[in-house]
Amino acid sequence: MNLADLNKVALAMVVPGKGVLAADESSGTIKKRFDAINVESTEETRRDYREMLFRSQEAMSKYVSGVILYDETIWQNAKDGTPLVKLIEQSGAIPGIKVDEGTQALPNCPGELVTAGLDKLAERLKKYYERGARFAKWRAVIDIGKNIPTMTAIHVNAHALARYAALCQQAQIVPIVEPEVLMDGDHDIDRCFEVTQRVLNKTFQELRVQRVALEGMILKPNMAIAGKKSAKPSSVEEVAEKTIRLLKSCVPAAVPGIAFLSGGQSDEDATAHLNAMNRIGSLPWRLTFSYGRALQAAPQKAWSGKPENIAAGQRAFTHRARMNALASKGEWEAGLEKKVA
Ligand code: 13P
């Protein structure tokens, strides 16, 4: 492992003014997104949609530091035969790859999940590196509910995240470590805070046990936020203040950067929260976005599967990327939302 090079890639992923585009939806998830806009999900429509994003020149060159791809996409070519990975590289962004294989039911823990994909991961990472991937992603899912999460679910997921991270670094690939505490329930922000704190503490404990170099990884956490069905929704200031307090209590300063998931927040909430956190300032790590839905919902709607809407889709994507890029520097303001580029 060359740690200096891993650290360089990690820092480039979280450079102020840029963030990561999570375009790594599995075929099942992208089908759900396409169903919502009445587009059939085929290998070709998935390619066309993602090619539209990666050819958004302004967004990709100015606001996007890296793109997380799904296995299908990393091997696909654009309509003109150029590999999609090359389009990303030519824009100046770094290609990355989702390497987990989704979640499975966790034995003895009803309602809880463990992420799969460690088998043969070393061999797969080698192939992804040869294809151009310089970072990877693994998502663990922790749900909040009555009597969950169990310590068992937190432990096995943290263990798997650290196993994955160590294998990535051995393959000279920067691991994005993503322990996502879902915002699906009716819990309040303090319950989210407490569960996320346990999850992050266990994750960093496992990372240490497995000798993962913290300088060569990126953390992708959820924010401290009330569940979507909570009777007490959180204000922007509260999310920002509690998320920073939470991260300061759990995330070592050696970690170069934190790139949040959007997790079902509205586009504008995801931007406002990131912005408010960066305004607090004096942080040991860089804070940016690694959004999926909060970057793509608008372009998906504008595109709706029609070739004549490609420019509109690219404009919508560029706008969201720009808003989040400003938020990564604490320079976003709500008034900017109305001026779609
Ligand atoms: P969302 O921003 O839609 O949560 O997706 C980010 C991601 O990569 C989840 O694994």
Q: Domains in the chain, ordered, with CATH?
A: 3-338 (3.20.20.70)
Kindly report the pTM of this predicted structure.
Answer: 0.98
- Residue 291 beta carbon below 6 angstroms from any ligand 1 atom: yes
Mean pLDDT by 10 residues, the chain (341 residues): 97 98 98 98 98 98 99 98 98 98 98 98 98 99 98 98 98 99 97 98 98 98 98 96 98 98 98 98 97 98 98 98 98 87 48
- Give residue 106 CA to ligand 1 midpoint distance, Å: 22
- Residue 19 beta carbon below 6 angstroms from any ligand 1 atom: no
Mention every residue, 6+ apart, whose C-beta is less than 8 A from residue 130.
none
- Residue 139 beta carbon below 6 angstroms from any ligand 1 atom: yes
Largest pairwise CA distance in the chain: 53
Give the active site residues: 178, 220
- Residue 242 beta carbon below 6 angstroms from any ligand 1 atom: no
Mutate to test the pocket of ligand 1, among 262, 288, 320, 324 (most ligand atoms within 8 A of CB): 262
- Residue 22 beta carbon below 6 angstroms from any ligand 1 atom: yes
- Give residue 263 CA to ligand 1 midpoint distance, Å: 6
- Give residue 97 CA to ligand 1 midpoint distance, Å: 13
Chain-centre distance for alpha carbon 195: 19
How many angstroms separate the Cα of 278 from the Cα of each of 210, 287, 300, 341?
31, 7, 28, 24
- Residue with the two structure tokens 């998931």: 261
CA dihedral 103, 109, 110, 116 (to 10 degrees): 10
The confidence score (pLDDT) of residue 340 equals 55
